[in-house]
Amino acid sequence: MKQLVKLLSFAWLLVLPSLGLAAGPTAPHPDNAAVTLPAANPPAQEEKGGGAITGKIVETMNSGGYTYVNLEKNGKKTWVAASETRVKVGQEVSCPSGMNMNNFTSKTLKRTFESITFCNAPLDTVGGKMDTKQKSPGSKGAKVTSAGVIKVEKASGANAYTVGDIYKNKSKLDKKKIVVRGKVVKVSGGIMNKNWIHLQDGTGSQKKGTNNLVFTSQDLPAVGDVVTMQGILYKDKDFGSGYKYDVIVEKAVILK
């Protein structure tokens, strides 16, 4: 009986290789290796960028509050986007480190970029100064001509002010919490990782530019909305590269 068991066991070991099985661990056959199939429509990927991207502008366009530039250096072209500013083809500029996005589609441009980096700060020139004649989105460039007459009732509460009052008392209110109610006349989304919201309430002077107050926020209202916003007021805020505001309200939120 024992002899019969040994013969059957030996016969089974001879059969295993023909079935593609093995008595012990073996290296997998290349034809049997696991295969990972790509997704039918892979989503756009976000990756952290490295250092500054520099190059000469070979193509540029403005849309949706952004300036898109195609930079060329050593024969390699790279698309970057930054807060809207005035640049020209042939100018050499630098984009600080930012967020790289693959297969990004700009709805306003109706164009998909295979790869583009959104700069964390405004574009800067290489070996020189940015054109001082350009209109940056600072206090001078932030003027928005309102369509029609705007008249919004002032918010209530101890920290509530009109837009005109903010400009008149900017020194006293510097770094103080304020509340303003107004109509959204312009929104620039996703610039420097925040949304730039322009409010008007009918006070202040359009000629002097004191009728328009800019808020930076993670909230994103629509143009035409009447909202009450709260934030910290700063006077003479300088973001660099000409992005200087006489008055701006940061870390703002829309109150319910």
Q: Which tens digits make up the pLDDT trace of 4-25?
A: 444 444 444 443 333 333 333 3
Residue closest to 249 by CA, chosen among 208, 213, 209: 213
The pLDDT-based confidence of 142 (bands split at 50, 70, 90) is low
Residue closest to 183 by CA, chosen among 159, 199, 203, 160: 199
Residues 167 and 238 in one domain: yes
Antiparallel, parallel or unpaired: β 46-48 and 98-106: antiparallel
Report the predicted TM-score, pTM, of the whole model to 2 decimal places. 0.51
Over residues 50-85, the pLDDT tens digits come to: 478 999 999 988 877 788 999 999 999 999 988 778
Residues 185 and 237 in one domain: yes
Bridge partners, residue 112, by sequence? 105
Over residues 184-209, the pLDDT tens digits come to: 988 877 677 788 899 999 999 988 98
Task: With respect to residue 141, please indicate whether it lies within any of the assigned structural domains.
Answer: no
* C-alpha dist (Å) from residue 7 to 2, 36, 66, 162, 237: 9, 43, 81, 99, 91
Written as six digits, the tokens of 246 are 């006489």
What three-state secondary structure class fits 163? Answer: helix
Residues 168 and 250 in one domain: yes
Question: So what's the pLDDT on residue 28?
Answer: 29
Final residue belonging to a domain, choices 125, 155, 175: 125
Q: Where are the beta strands (DSSP E) in 53-167?
A: 53-63, 66-73, 76-83, 92-95, 98-106, 111-119, 124-125
Residues 169 and 101 in one domain: no
Residue closest to 68 by CA, chosen among 111, 27, 28: 111
Question: So what's the pLDDT on residue 118?
Answer: 87
Domain of residue 234, CATH code: 2.40.50.140
Q: Which residues contact 11 (CB under 8 A, 6 or more apart)?
A: none
Q: How far apart are CA 199 and CA 193, in angstroms?
A: 20
Residues 244 and 167 in one domain: yes
Question: So what's the pLDDT on residue 42?
Answer: 29
Q: How far apart are CA 80 and CA 91, in angstroms?
A: 14
Final residue belonging to a domain, choices 125, 153, 186: 125
Task: With respect to residue 218, please indicate whether it lies within any of the assigned structural domains.
Answer: yes
Structural domain span for residue 109:
46-125
Question: So what's the pLDDT on residue 217?
Answer: 93
Final residue belonging to a domain, choices 78, 95, 125: 125
Task: With respect to residue 130, please indicate whether it lies within any of the assigned structural domains.
Answer: no
Domain count, the chain: 2
Residues 170 and 113 in one domain: no
Task: With respect to residue 236, please indicate whether it lies within any of the assigned structural domains.
Answer: yes
Q: How far apart are CA 32 and CA 214, in angstroms?
A: 62
Residues 112 and 195 in one domain: no
Between 220 and 127, residue with greater pLDDT: 220
Task: With respect to residue 191, please indicate whether it lies within any of the assigned structural domains.
Answer: yes
Bridge partners, residue 213, by sequence? 199
Residues 110 and 186 in one domain: no
183 pLDDT higher than 80: yes
Task: With respect to residue 186, please indicate whether it lies within any of the assigned structural domains.
Answer: yes
